[in-house]
DNA sequence: GCCAACGTTGGC
DNA sequence: GCCAACGTTGGC
């Protein structure tokens, strides 16, 4: 299983909406590197749900339930989206400031490439971030 | 609101 | 194919 981090501006699409909707298509990616990451996602992969801009924190965890397919919101079929399902919120949201203050996370794609909206997360970094957020696997 | 990073576009 | 101009994203 691979791990990821997906970003959304809460003004456009928030974690609360993700929870309310359950399964939601992750659309609107118009960047080739982000698309590459979306394409590499497998069903069952986990991703952190990150609020950019106003909150700047990891606020929840989602699971990939449908692998890459053409993004219906794109004018051409060259862009890709996946479906993700809300699993649970982070008990303690992990802020960007905390992430930047943690030396073991300095290579995180989120930090190194702040504009990339879909980033891979290594298993080691995933574990560190789960610890920081006091993540508990739902029963 | 400003600015840095980065992607895209278009002239040459 | 290079590079300047411009637009967008996202942190501060």
CATH architecture of A3-133: Roll (3.10)
Q: Using a 7 Å cut-off to protein CB atoms, list the covered nucleotides of chain B.
A: 5-8
Length of chain A: 139
Q: What share of chain A is helix, strand, coil (3-state, %, to 5)?
A: 30, 35, 35
Average pLDDT, chain A: 94
* Residues 52-71, chain A, CB closer than 7 Å to nucleic strand B: none
What are the extents of the domains in chain A? 3-133
| Per-residue pLDDT tens digits for A31-52 | 999 999 999 999 999 999 999 9
| Per-residue pLDDT tens digits for A63-98 | 999 999 999 998 888 899 999 999 999 999 999 999
pTM equals 0.94
CA–C1' nearest nucleotide, residue A96? C11
The CB-side HSE value for A136 (13 A sphere, CA atoms) comes to: 4
Q: Using a 7 Å cut-off to protein CB atoms, list the covered nucleotides of chain C.
A: 8-12
Biggest CA–CA distance in chain A, Å, is 41
CA-to-CA distance for A111 and A87, rounded, in angstroms? 24
∠ CA A43-A81-A49, nearest 5°, is 70
CA–C1' nearest nucleotide, residue A30? B7
């Amino acid at each position: 299983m691979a791990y990821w981090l997906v970003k959304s501006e809460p003004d456009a699409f928030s974690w609360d909406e993700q929870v309310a909707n359950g399964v939601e298509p992750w659309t609107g990616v118009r960047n080739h590197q982000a698309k590459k990451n979306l394409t590499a996602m497998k069903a069952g992969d986990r991703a952190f749900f990150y609020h950019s801009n106003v909150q700047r924190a990891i606020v929840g965890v989602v699971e990939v339930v449908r692998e890459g397919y053409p993004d219906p919101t794109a004018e051409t079929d060259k862009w890709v989206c996946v479906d993700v399902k809300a699993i649970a919120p982070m008990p303690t949201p992990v802020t960007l400031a905390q992430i930047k203050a943690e030396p073991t996370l300095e290579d995180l794609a989120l930090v190194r490439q702040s504009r990339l909206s879909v980033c891979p997360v290594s298993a080691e970094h995933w574990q560190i971030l789960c610890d920081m957020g006091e993540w508990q696997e739902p029963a």
